[in-house]
Structure 1
């Protein structure tokens, strides 16, 4: 592994094809025999530092259409938090189900799960049938894993019957020194970014692109008023950028003055600090408060000059969904994913059906959408929102930060990269966009 890293750091990545593939590597895992370790605890009390382990694991066999990538950096997503606290179910059920689909997929059904759905790194090997990528290519990976053996996914690969999220519903994810991906997950690494910066947008940038911009999502247009929950967070920070770039009018909902300032620094003018304004959408665990929806809607109209949101960018889920359905304009769209505050949504259907609103479910992105989202990163039109990076051995703490919402934007993880700041090739472009690149740093 050290020879691989030395070749990458020396700018001799093309020599990787001549180096042997290590028989094992270090990766962040959860263990099947620990699935019950948090039983009886509330979600908030479950500590990823206890369940995420840094293990030496065997390098998987490389199959047709696949690539083995030397991972320089990765990032934390909420799916890694879910994996680490074994909610809403153990991911070993995903691996077992996947393992039954083919002899090759059986590799994934193991008593440990190497997690992580982002990476930036260098191609080490490619399997039979891979023509667009070769050892030495610097890449990032999106997290859509598809088989495409049936007809369902050929208009939109997200509809493939065997669609999975790599590193969550498959094994050999990106929080490791090596990762196994399908070649159609790979995209060029933006040359003006460091490894840790390039690793951080993948999942959330692509998810926000499909959810907000794509015709498969809300199909945002110029002038749309877009209500964005968690507008300085992992997903929301990209949605805010897409809204601003696309000529829309974001209304950014945040939970602190610091987060409000981040949104303003991105160019957003309309910001609601929901904690400062005291919104409580639930009277108790079972009862929502429509008067709070009304107060929230009035505040939005106050900011927009009387307009309700054309689009509500939803991802908190249970806590906010009733307010989101209420707040959208007549004929408006609520586009939803993730549900980080709970999956069981409740809303008053009168506000939906009588006002001709639409709810659209959105899940990650297909290869084309991911490629377009990455292209905007590479052009410097959208910037990574990395706030902090941890070493691989401290991934548990990184996941805890995200679990407790003690972070801004994205939290990165250095894998093979020995320090931050490496991997930049286009210094001129970087200098042009350095303020945007560093906007979330240290916040």
Structure 2
């Protein structure tokens, strides 16, 4: 039995996938433990993920208790795959070794290769003992929260569990592959009006943006708020912009080109800053923040808002922008932060934080309930995927390279078992009502 036979069965609409044999091997995007030193002595900006990534056959894992094996039709690239591929801030094999020490079941993840990817859309092939919510043939997407919930800390907010991990980054058997192994409670219904590749691109970033802006665990955005959104046409920012608009807030979208500015406006944002056109650079040199640029940036925001400072700053670039973010937030405002794609060591002037009673809130992905609610909004057509381009799995390293260089808009998808784009839609009526919003980002790629 090959994965090709599974693909054909899915495309033919066969539901009895549980009766099909599971192949012994499948194709996946991996990094190798014996190559973690390949970039030693190379500056971060010159590390090319295409050198470390492999598309190869790997053995198929058996789903254990509470787990599911999924036939992956499509996946997408997140920045954690970039970090995995360039072995920053540390090789992800350290995560796999730590997880492997936890139990006999977890030991399967400690391998000399790491199957990457934290998103998927696909069809359930097998479920392990104890799984009753899902069955073979169910069409699903997956969120990336892998959690044990054996400690009390995680039962109010599962992101606080000491054994919380990100699937496909801190665990093995991720979604950039023909098959994937997940905990069954990572699965959610696939939105019926989307294609495989559209459905696959929202799980991580949409859930992250939901927690960061909307949830009680994040900024708790309310109607009338002014929300500064960095990278508003990128993966995270494109969803944050939609949440702001849907929630009665006013987004101030920061982008890096005229094309990205136009895309933000087409999404409904009226207040847009092209930081490249304005020439904003928040560091005088490698070690010295440029406070005058913070002030100029703040004035630029007030010129757009009629004198208002942001109630919320949606932060994820990190080192390059964090000092400016703290400065421009209003008195009593909130800087909500995750990711730090330009560097983890942040620098800011604490006087502007403490004397103006601002808050910094750290958020990381989303708990199960938040992910489910975020996916529900996708399924209802209230939030739309922001897919700009989809690569075949054989070219997944090029997709990661694009995200690394920030030459993409929105989300970059990867076709795994899906042979071409445009497949998988079940609710054409809803889709037609929501076009062209669903394909807005793709139309500009």
Q: Residues 230-245 of structure 1: matches in 2 within 5 Å?
A: 230-245=231-246
Are 1:220 and 2:209 matched, yes or no? Answer: no
Task: Report the CA distance between 1:97 and its aligned residue.
Answer: 0.3
Q: Secondary structure at the match of 1:6?
A: helix
1:379 corresponds to which residue?
Answer: 380
Where 2:384 maps in the other structure, the secondary structure is coil
Instruction: Provide the rounded CA distance (Å) in 1 between the counterparts of 2:138 and 2:63.
Output: 17
How many angstroms does 1:62 deviate by? 1.2
CA distance in 2, matches of 1:316, 1:26: 32
Shift of 1:22: 1.0
Mean Cα deviation higher: 383-392 or 16-25: 16-25
Distance 1:300 1:133 in 2: 48
Equivalences for residues 425-436 of structure 1 within 5 A: 425-436=426-437
1:188-207 alignment runs, 5 A limit: 188-207=189-208
Residue in structure 2 matched with residue 10 of structure 1 by the alignment: 12
The aligned counterpart of 1:186 is 187
Q: Could you give the per-residue CA deviations for residues 371-391 of structure 1, whole angstroms, max 9, x where no partner exists?
A: 000001001110000000000
* 1:50 Cα offset (Å): 1.1
Task: Indicate the SS of the match to 2:441.
Answer: coil
* Contact 2:62–2:69 (CA under 8 A) maintained in structure 1: no
User: Is there any run of 5+ residues in structure 2 with no aligned partner, and where?
Assistant: none
Cα-to-partner distance string for 1:394-439 (whole Å, 9 max, x where unaligned): 0000000000001000000000001111000000111111211111
The structural deviation recorded for 1:350 is: 0.3
**CA apart distance, 1:178:** 0.3
1:7: Cα distance to partner?
1.1
Shift of 1:2: 2.0
Matches within 5 A, 1:332-371: 332-371=333-372
CA–CA distance in 1 between the matches of 2:120 and 2:86? 22
Deviation, 1:61, is 2.1
Question: What is the match of residue 265 of structure 1?
Answer: 266
For residues 23-53 of structure 1, what are the alpha-carbon distances to aligned partners after superposition, in whole Å with 9 as ceiling and x for unaligned?
A: 1111110000000111111222111111110
| 1:305 aligned onto 2:325 | no
CA RMSD of aligned residues (A): 0.6
- Counterpart for residue 424 of structure 2: 423
Distance 1:35 1:400 in 2: 18
Whole-angstrom CA distance in 2 between matches of 1:44 and 1:8: 41
How many angstroms does 1:55 deviate by? 1.1
- Which whole-Å CA distance do the structure 2 matches of 1:136 and 1:170 have between them? 25
1:263-301, CA deviations, whole angstroms, 9 ceiling, x for partnerless residues? 000100000001101111100000011111011101111
Aligned to 1:149: 150
Where does structure 1 differ by over 2 angstroms across 4 or more consecutive aligned residues? Answer: none
1:261 is displaced (CA, Å) by 0.3
CA distance in 1, matches of 2:276, 2:9: 50
In 2: Cα distance, 1:44 partner to 1:67 partner:
37
1:331 is matched with 332
Distance in 2, matches of 1:266 and 1:406, equals 19
Query: What TM-score results when the alignment is normalised by the length of structure 1?
Result: 0.99
Q: Which whole-Å CA distance do the structure 2 matches of 1:211 and 1:131 have between them?
A: 31
Q: Distance in 2 between matches of 1:26 and 1:347?
A: 45
Aligned residues: 442
Distance between the aligned counterparts of 2:4 and 2:368, measured in 1? 32
The residue that corresponds to 1:286 in the other structure is 287
CA distance in 1, matches of 2:53, 2:435: 33
TM-superposition CA deviations, 1:284-331 (whole Å, max 9, x none): 000011111011101111100110000000000000000000000000
SS at match of 2:406: coil
1:101 match: 102
Task: Give the C-alpha shift of residue 5 in structure 1.
Answer: 1.1
- Three-state SS of the structure 1 residue aligned to 2:72 is strand
Structure 1, unpaired ranges of 5+: none
Q: What is the aligned partner in structure 2 of residue 163 from structure 1?
A: 164
Q: Which residue of 1 aligns with 2:210?
A: 209
Instruction: Provide the C-alpha distance between the structure 1 equivalents of 2:231 and 2:8, rounded to a whole number of angstroms.
Output: 40
| TM-score normalised by length of structure 2 | 0.99
Aligned to 2:40: 39
